[in-house]
Amino acid sequence: MILYQHPLSPFAQKIRIALREKGVSFAVRSPDGPVALLNPRVELPALDDGGVVIFDSTIILEYLEDRFPNPPLLPSGAAERAKVRMVEEVCDTHYEAINWGLGELRFFERAPGALGEKLGQRAKQQTRNLHRWLESILGGVAWLNGPQFGWGDLAAAPYVSMSQMFDLAPEPGTLLADWFERVMLRPSVAATVDEARASLPAMAGAAQRVRDGRMKRQYRDHRLEWMIRSGGLQVVLDGIAADNIRFTGTAPFAEAATGPKESKS
C-alpha cells in the first residue's frame, strides 16, 4: 500500500494516523509521474492499494474503514457518526484555510508589513473561535469521537498541531488543551506529527521558489474565500499578476502535471 503525499499536508496526516491505528503497513512516496494520473484534479494525497487508486482524504478514510473494519474508527451510532463527520468537514475547510493562510504569510511571504499583520491577527481570532467550537463538541467526554479515540480525533489533530506550530496552541487549562495532550500520547498521532515537523526545514526558501516561478500555490475554494474575506484580496491579485498561484481544475491524463499539490484531498 502506497500513500502519495506531502508529510506536512493535514489531509495526508489524517490517513497516516488511520493506517497506523489499524496496523496497516504502508509506504509514502512522491509521484513518479503526472499527478493527474492519480487524481484528475491534480491534487494529493492519493492511495494505491495494489493497483486500486483512491483520492480525496475522506474517501480514502472511508475506504480504509471498509477494507480494514477492525479496529473501527467511526463510532457506532448514526448521530455520533454524523457528529465526527461534521468535525472533519469543518476542519478540512474552515480550519485548513486558516492554517493555509498562515502558511502563505510565514513560509511564502505573501503579505509583508501591515497587511500581513492584519491577516495574522484575523487568523489568530478565527483559530480561537474554532478551538471554542471543538471544545463544545468535546463536552464532558475524553475524545472528539466519543468515549474512544477515533475518526473525529484524527480529523482534528493535524490542524490543532499545525496551530501549535504557528504559536496558536489551545489555551492552557482548557478542555481542548487537555484533549490535545491526550491525543499527542497516541503513538499513531505522535509519529505522524513528528514527520510533519521534520519536514518544516524543507520550507526554507519556499518563498523564493514561488517568486522564481518554480512553484505555484493552489488557491482553491475555501482557501480563496479565506484570503479574500480576511482582507487579502491584494494577495490574490498580486499572485495572479505574477502567475504564481493556481486554481483547481481537471487535467487531461496526458498533461505533465508533476509534483505534490496542496489540497483538501
| Stretch 146-166: mean pLDDT | 97
Kindly report, residue by residue over 25-47, the tens digit of the pLDDT: 999 998 776 676 777 777 889 99
**85 and 63 share a domain?**
no
Long-range Cβ contacts of 235-241 (<8 Å, 24+ apart): 235/104, 235/110, 235/111, 235/115, 235/119, 238/110, 239/110
pLDDT of residue 109: 95
Number of domains in the chain: 2
Backbone angles phi, psi at 246, to 5 degrees: -135, 160
Binned at pLDDT 50, 70 and 90, residue 257 comes out as very low
Binned at pLDDT 50, 70 and 90, residue 265 comes out as very low
**196 and 82 share a domain?**
yes
Q: Examine the pLDDT at 51 and tell me if it is beyond 70.
A: yes
**169 and 98 share a domain?**
yes
Of 17, 47, 67, the residue that ends a domain is 67
**123 and 61 share a domain?**
no
**94 and 194 share a domain?**
yes
CATH number of the CATH domain containing 147: 1.20.1050.10
Tell me how far apart the alpha carbons of residues 151 and 91 are, in angstroms, rounded to a whole number.
12
pLDDT of residue 36: 66
Q: What angle do CA 171, 172, 175 make, to 5 degrees?
A: 80
Any residues with CB less than 8 A from the CB of 51 and at least 6 apart, and which?
none
Kindly report, residue by residue over 109-128, the tens digit of the pLDDT: 999 999 999 999 999 999 99
- Chain position carrying cell 493555509: 100
